[in-house]
Homo-oligomer: A and B are copies of this chain.
Amino acid sequence: MLSKAQIKYIQSLQHKKNRQKSSQYVAEGDKIVQELLQAGMPVKGVYATAGWLEQHHSLVNRMPPGTVTEVDAAVLKQLSSLTTPNQAMALLDMPAPVNPLPAAGTVALALEAIQDPGNMGTLIRIADWFGIPQIICSPDCVDVYNPKTIQATMGSMIRVRIAEYDIRELLQQTKLPSFAATLHGKNIAEFPVIKEGIILIGNEGRGLTEDVTAMATHRITIPRIGGAESLNAAVAAGIICGRLLI
């Protein structure tokens, strides 16, 4: 059983400032908790229904004593910030900060002011699909440990390192080529496949700032054939990865 204080603590992690203070976050969802346990992530607590615990007993049995708590659906609903109820939830330590400068010979995704938690999760999933080891988020991006983001990553945040860093600083300090997604750049289809570089994606409504667009070594555009004003930021990132990385 969970104490009132434990319930209150887990609920408090719905807010970014509490997550930052405690360096912990929660991940909700049957499949994602399973993946976290399989991957040997720093899971500090599992809260799940009797049925879920039984189904995944071999994974759960590896956890240290006192870290697995059976809770009923009503308590899980109380702990959750999501509208769709889940059968399992995990409490995790945030990973240690990583060097924001991507290594030579690698590709990174740099995100400026991405606001939608679902888009952020989808972007992490795209990075994971294309084997991009690192994402750099500007400080004004939505928090990657937001419960909605964690759910939208479908487990991919396990495999992608995420750093928070100023994008201008990043571009000043890196020696890698950089590719700014803009509406007025060079046709993406004219670029060869890259082995290293930073792909820059901007805010959902405004795109990249002028500074960052100007600082990039390349400006790239997905040619528009029809009438839409713009593409969803995550879709645009997917299309760019689908041209530059495969």
Contacts and interface: CB of A to CB of B under 8 A. Distances in A.
Contacts of A127: 226
A41 to B, nearest CB: 13
A158 B227 CA distance: 10
Interface residues of A, number: 40
A66 B227 CA distance: 31
A111 to B, nearest CB: 15
A232 to B, nearest CB: 5
Interface in A198-246: 222-232, 234-236, 238-243, 245-246
Interface string A175-210: 000000000000111000000000000000000000
A156 B246 contact: no
Interface string A119-130: 000100111111
Contact of A225 (B122, B130, B227, B235): B130
A242 B222 contact: yes
B241 A129 contact: no
A16 interface: no
A238 B235 CA distance: 6
Contacts of A231: 125-126, 129, 238
Contacts of A159: 226-228
B188 A156 contact: no
How often does this chain occur in the complex, in copies?
2
A63 interface: no
A132 B226 CA distance: 7
Contacts of A225: 129-131, 245-246
A155 interface: yes
Contacts of A234: 232, 235
A185 to B, nearest CB: 14
Contact of A228 (B125, B226, B227): B125
A127 B159 CA distance: 31
Given A129-B226, A154-B229, A225-B129, A189 B235 contact: no
A189 B125 CA distance: 20
Given A118-B118, A127-B226, A239-B239, 12 more contacts: A122-B235, A128-B227, A129-B226, A129-B230, A130-B225, A131-B224, A131-B225, A159-B226, A159-B227, A187-B246, A188-B246, A222-B242
5 contacts: A129-B222, A129-B231, A130-B225, A131-B224, A154-B229
